[in-house]
């Protein structure tokens, strides 16, 4: 198989502008799709918050000029007018506070719902991706999409997005207020603001590329950690700790370097913006006082200067906040780019139109029936009538161009015709493979690692499509069979056992989700797994975690075999199914395997040649070629490569 470790974002992506219009439009589609009404309410709340804040600052002019200054000049002790004015302003600010609180609550609901939809869409798309995607991408990096990348979106949607909208509305509202209050001082503030915007663009642009590199490096580190955690036993056995630490340090150093560069630029931006705002505040006070005292501008009073100083702070603060939120937005764009890159991956192609259905046999005629009817009958009668004949069978449903349908019983006849294959289109793996497996036959593949044994079984499942030649299943080109139906007709036991978090019963039922407890137990007995399962603390209800780490490797493999047995497929693929089981247990399992393989077409990959002696045909592979074929006795008589393997004259590996 091709090597893993590819990244969703390559180096060319990092050179692109992270604030991509198409990316923003796609993100907005998640926001506006189901939340238009709520977003409208949020927008209204932001407007109320911004306007009340601006009006409150504008009222400072009236407060000073119409109440405080006259009281100071007259020496009056009547504060009733002042108190009424303060109450009015307090009520105004109260509306702003309530609107801000309401807006925050709604944005929490919106952001969590959006992230839920993003994760759902990612996971849905992931189920449609071909096996080749997972063979070429580190699993930890894929996981990083669901954690780190989605978390950057959470921060942007719940905090940065409303803050940006609020800042924009506040800037407009304050600008109008400043122009109405004093247009001369407004010019001073705008000149200072242009300087801030210029610096924000220059510094923010430098940090953007490093934030994108940071997200890519973070995914790489996660991928490496996931590999090391899964392979910890190998690390310990081969004393790989030092080298693994060195490699981690290299990847972590790259992440640290990118994160440091990104945050250096990001962190110097806010102090610069803040100090420019302070300088601007002093300039407004100085120029306002100069115009009022030295130039005698009557429109500029103490109240105007006081109100304008507040509005200057209120105008500069959103500009600074925009610069601060830009960093979060850039990180979110980097995360979104990786997320949408996964979503845009080409799904597994499937042009098949032949489907797998349940049929009832009426003589030679096959009549399609609902699966529920078959399940009910099999649970009541075991799938056979009173005479012991099978009445319900799997069949291929074949639609034709003229609109007619034909049904053919699934027999398990698999044939390869001159098949060539390459994983990457460059290095050829299989050469001119031709073979046939008649219904009920057991076909074995032997040969050194890398000879192409597992690749052949991957082609039967259509995990990969062939480059040249044909594969026919019951005389149907497998390209014409829908992949889900093709795989439903195939049972597979892999060398690497995967058990999921859940009970033992759930893990067995994974092979057939509609199987009853009794059917799962029967499958376990067939695989000779029932005895050890019964001795577990809660028997079949024992919960397995961490890929069944509480079980031995052999026990995990027995559960995997039981899982294949409950599926009851016409064709079985056993890829080193007993490689992790000791010799004594193998003898027990083999009896169950023999029962499992009865009346089925079986493809077996085995290094222990004792397990393939009873095969109808044994294919010896070397460098992608079938160099010998025949049954055990005939191959021994030839005294070729199989003879060398069997007698130990040639090491299998």
- Mean pLDDT over residues 275-289, rounded? 79
Sequence-separated contacts (24+) of 123-129 with Cβ below 8 Å = 125/342, 125/343, 125/345, 125/347, 126/342, 128/347, 128/348, 129/345, 129/347, 129/348
Q: What pLDDT shows up at residue 233?
A: 65
Give me the DSSP letters along 347-361: PPP----BEEEEEEE
- Mean pLDDT over residues 257-264, rounded? 79
Report residue 471's pLDDT band, with 50, 70 and 90 as the boundaries. Answer: very high
- Mean pLDDT over residues 197-214, rounded? 70
Contact between 374 and 410 (Cβ < 8 Å): no
Integer angstrom CA distances of residue 16 from 9, 324, 373: 11, 21, 58
- Residue 97: CB partners within 8 Å, gap ≥ 6? none
Q: Look at residues 419, 418, 374 and name the one whose alpha carbon lies nearest to residue 394.
A: 374
Report residue 4's pLDDT band, with 50, 70 and 90 as the boundaries. Answer: very low
Domain 414-647 has CATH 3.40.1440.10: no
Backbone φ and ψ of 428, nearest 5°: -80, 135
Looking at the DSSP bridge assignments, the partners of residue 260 are none
pLDDT for 124 beyond 80:
yes
Same fold, 11-20+112-343 and 414-647: no
Q: Which residue has the tokens 């009817």?
A: 373
Backbone φ and ψ of 615, nearest 5°: -75, 145
How many CA atoms lie within 13 Å of 591's alpha carbon, on the beta-carbon side? Answer: 8
Q: Give Rg (Cα) of the chain.
A: 36
Q: Look at residues 271, 287, 276 and name the one whose alpha carbon lies nearest to residue 315.
A: 276
Report residue 206's pLDDT band, with 50, 70 and 90 as the boundaries. Answer: low
- 651's tokens: 């090491």
The pairing of strands 428-437 and 625-630 is: unpaired
Q: What pLDDT shows up at residue 399?
A: 92
How far apart are the C-alpha atoms of 548 and 361, rounded to whole Å? 41
Integer angstrom CA distances of residue 181 from 60, 62, 126, 292, 309: 11, 11, 58, 14, 11
∠ CA 205-210-213 to the nearest 5 degrees?
135
pLDDT for 156 beyond 90:
no
- 52's tokens: 């009340």
Q: Burial code of 230-261, b = ≥16 C-beta within 10 A, e = fewer? A: eeeeebeeeeeeeebeeeeeebbebbeebbeb
Q: What pLDDT shows up at residue 434?
A: 94
- Mean pLDDT over residues 108-120, rounded? 89
> Mind listing the pLDDT tens digit for each residue in 37-73?
888 888 898 888 888 877 777 777 777 767 677 766 6
- 421's tokens: 């294959």
Q: What pLDDT shows up at residue 243?
A: 80
3-state secondary structure of 604: strand
Query: Number of helices (H) and strands (E), helices first, in the chain?
Result: 23, 16
- 644's tokens: 């060398």
- Mean pLDDT over residues 409-416, rounded? 92
Give the distance, in angstroms, between the CA of residue 276 and the centroid of all CA atoms in the same chain: 43
- Mean pLDDT over residues 180-209, rounded? 75
Instruction: Please tell me the least confidently modeled range out of 262-271, 472-481, 486-495, 563-572.
Output: 262-271
- Mean pLDDT over residues 89-115, rounded? 87
Helix (H) or strand (E) holding 507: helix 504-509
Segment of 1-10, 159-168, 467-476 carrying the highest mean pLDDT? 467-476
Q: What pLDDT shows up at residue 8?
A: 38
pLDDT for 592 beyond 70:
no
Question: Which of the 8 DSSP states describes residue 207?
Answer: H
Integer angstrom CA distances of residue 279 from 177, 276, 284, 291, 313: 21, 5, 9, 18, 11
Contact between 615 and 437 (Cβ < 8 Å): no
Q: What pLDDT shows up at residue 508?
A: 92
Would you give the end-to-end CA distance of the chain in angstroms? 17
More confident residue, 472 or 275: 472
Sheet containing strand 414-422, edge to edge, reads 428-437, 414-422, 468-473, 476-477
Reported in sequence order, the residue ranges of 218-354 that DSSP labels E, i.e. its strands, are: none
Q: Domain locations in the chain? A: 11-20+112-343, 355-409, 414-647
- 449's tokens: 């690692």
- 2's tokens: 């091709």
- 367's tokens: 């009549």
Contact between 281 and 309 (Cβ < 8 Å): yes
Question: Which of the 8 DSSP states describes residue 498?
Answer: -
> Mind listing the pLDDT tens digit for each residue in 324-370?
677 778 778 888 888 999 999 998 888 899 999 988 887 778 888 88
Show the DSSP H helices in 568-624 as ranges: 583-597
How far apart are the C-alpha atoms of 395 and 312, rounded to whole Å? 78
More confident residue, 109 or 371: 109
Cα dihedral: 510, 514, 518, 524 (round 10): -20
Q: Burial code of 8-19, b = ≥16 C-beta within 10 A, e = fewer? A: bbeeebbeeebe
- Of the options 3.30.365.10, 1.10.760.10, 1.10.390.10, 1.20.1560.10, the CATH number for the domain spanning 11-20+112-343: 1.20.1560.10
pLDDT for 281 beyond 50:
yes
Instruction: Please tell me the least confidently modeled range out of 28-42, 105-119, 199-213, 393-407.
Output: 199-213
- Residue 425: CB partners within 8 Å, gap ≥ 6? 467
Q: What pLDDT shows up at residue 291?
A: 77
How far apart are the C-alpha atoms of 302 and 292, rounded to whole Å? 8
How far apart are the C-alpha atoms of 33 and 39, rounded to whole Å? 10
Instruction: Please tell me the least confidently modeled range out of 274-288, 380-394, 535-549.
Output: 380-394
Instruction: Please tell me the least confidently modeled range out of 61-65, 418-422, 617-621.
Output: 61-65
pLDDT for 5 beyond 60:
no
Q: Look at residues 169, 166, 123 and name the one whose alpha carbon lies nearest to residue 146.
A: 123
More confident residue, 203 or 167: 167
How far apart are the C-alpha atoms of 511 and 502, rounded to whole Å? 14
- Percent of the chain at pLDDT above 90? 17
Q: What pLDDT shows up at residue 450?
A: 82
Report residue 15's pLDDT band, with 50, 70 and 90 as the boundaries. Answer: very low
Contact between 269 and 203 (Cβ < 8 Å): yes
Q: What pLDDT shows up at residue 83?
A: 79
> What is the average pLDDT score of the chain?
81
Give me the DSSP letters along 168-194: HHHHHHHHHHHHHH-HHHHHHHHHHHH
pLDDT for 431 beyond 90:
yes
Report residue 296's pLDDT band, with 50, 70 and 90 as the boundaries. Answer: low
- Mean pLDDT over residues 526-540, rounded? 89
Integer angstrom CA distances of residue 555 from 100, 543, 580: 59, 14, 9
Report residue 21's pLDDT band, with 50, 70 and 90 as the boundaries. Answer: confident
Looking at the DSSP bridge assignments, the partners of residue 384 are 390
- Percent of the chain at pLDDT above 70? 85
More confident residue, 252 or 73: 252
Report residue 615's pLDDT band, with 50, 70 and 90 as the boundaries. Answer: confident
CB atoms within 10 A of CB 601: 26
∠ CA 581-585-591 to the nearest 5 degrees?
110
Q: What pLDDT shows up at residue 609?
A: 76
Angle between helix axes 553-567 and 583-597 (nearest 10 degrees) is: 0
Report residue 418's pLDDT band, with 50, 70 and 90 as the boundaries. Answer: very high
Report residue 589's pLDDT band, with 50, 70 and 90 as the boundaries. Answer: low
Looking at the DSSP bridge assignments, the partners of residue 604 are 444, 574
């Amino acid at each position: 198989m091709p090597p893993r470790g590819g990244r969703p974002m390559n180096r060319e992506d990092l050179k692109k502008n992270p604030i991509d219009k198409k990316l923003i439009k796609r993100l907005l589609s998640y926001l506006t799709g189901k939340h238009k009404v709520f977003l409208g309410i949020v927008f209204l709340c932001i407007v109320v918050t911004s306007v009340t804040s601006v009006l409150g600052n504008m009222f400072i002019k009236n407060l000073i000029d119409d109440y405080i200054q006259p009281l100071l000049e007259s020496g009056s002790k009547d504060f009733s007018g002042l108190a009424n004015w303060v109450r009015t302003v307090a009520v105004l600010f109260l509306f702003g506070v309530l609107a801000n609180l309401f807006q925050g609550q709604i944005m929490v609901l919106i952001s969590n719902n959006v992230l839920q939809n993003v994760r759902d869409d990612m996971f849905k798309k992931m189920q449609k991706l071909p096996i080749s995607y997972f063979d070429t991408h580190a699993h930890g990096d894929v996981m990083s999409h669901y954690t780190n990348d989605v978390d950057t979106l959470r921060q942007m949607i719940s905090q940065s997005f409303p803050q940006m909208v609020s800042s924009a509305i506040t800037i407009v509202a304050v600008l109008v207020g400043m122009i109405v209050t004093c247009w001369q001082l407004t010019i001073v503030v705008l000149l200072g603001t242009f300087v801030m915007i210029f610096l924000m663009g220059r510094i923010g642009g430098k940090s953007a590329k490093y934030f994108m590199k940071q997200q890519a490096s973070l995914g790489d580190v996660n991928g490496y950690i996931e590999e090391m955690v899964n392979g910890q036993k190998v690390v310990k056995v081969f004393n790989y700790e030092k080298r693994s630490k060195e490699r981690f340090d290299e990847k972590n150093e790259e992440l640290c370097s990118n994160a440091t560069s990104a945050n250096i630029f990001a962190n110097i931006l806010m102090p610069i913006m803040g100090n420019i705002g302070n300088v601007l505040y002093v300039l407004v006070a100085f120029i306002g006082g100069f115009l009022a005292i030295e130039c005698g501008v009557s429109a500029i009073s103490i109240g105007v200067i006081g109100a304008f100083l507040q509005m200057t702070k209120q105008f500069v603060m959103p500009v600074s906040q925009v610069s601060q939120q830009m960093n979060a937005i850039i990180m979110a764009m980097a995360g979104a780019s990786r997320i949408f890159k996964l979503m845009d991956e080409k799904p597994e192609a499937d042009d098949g139109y032949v489907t797998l259905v349940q049929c009832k046999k009426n003589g030679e005629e096959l009549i399609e029936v609902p699966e529920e009817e078959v399940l009910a009958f099999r649970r009541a009668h075991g799938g056979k009538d009173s005479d012991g004949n099978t009445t319900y069978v799997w069949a291929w449903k074949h639609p034709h161009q003229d609109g007619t349908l034909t049904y053919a019983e699934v027999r398990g006849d698999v044939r390869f015709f001159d098949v060539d294959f390459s994983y990457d289109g460059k290095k050829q793996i299989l050469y001119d493979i031709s073979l046939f497996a008649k219904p009920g036959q057991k076909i074995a593949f032997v040969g050194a690692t890398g000879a192409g044994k597992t690749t052949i079984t991957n082609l039967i499942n259509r995990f990969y499509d062939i480059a040249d030649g044909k594969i026919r299943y019951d005389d149907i080109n497998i390209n014409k069979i829908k992949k889900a139906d093709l795989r439903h007709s195939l049972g597979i036991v892999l060398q690497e056992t995967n058990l999921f978090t859940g009970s033992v019963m759930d893990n067995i039922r994974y092979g057939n989700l509609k199987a009853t407890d009794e059917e799962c137990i029967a499958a376990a007995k067939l695989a000779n797994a029932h005895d050890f399962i019964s001795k577990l603390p809660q028997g079949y209800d024992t919960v397995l975690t961490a890929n069944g780490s509480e079980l031995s490797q052999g026990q995990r493999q027995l559960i995997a075999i039981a899982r294949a047995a409950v599926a009851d497929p016409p064709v079985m693929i056993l890829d080193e199914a007993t490689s992790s089981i000791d010799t004594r247990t193998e003898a027990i399992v083999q009896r169950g395997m023999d029962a499992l393989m009865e009346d089925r077409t079986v493809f077996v990959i085995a290094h222990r040649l004792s397990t393939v002696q009873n095969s109808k045909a044994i294919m010896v592979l070397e460098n992608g070629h079938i160099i010998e074929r025949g049954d055990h006795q005939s191959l021994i008589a030839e005294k070729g490569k199989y003879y060398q393997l069997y007698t130990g004259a040639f090491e299998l590996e």
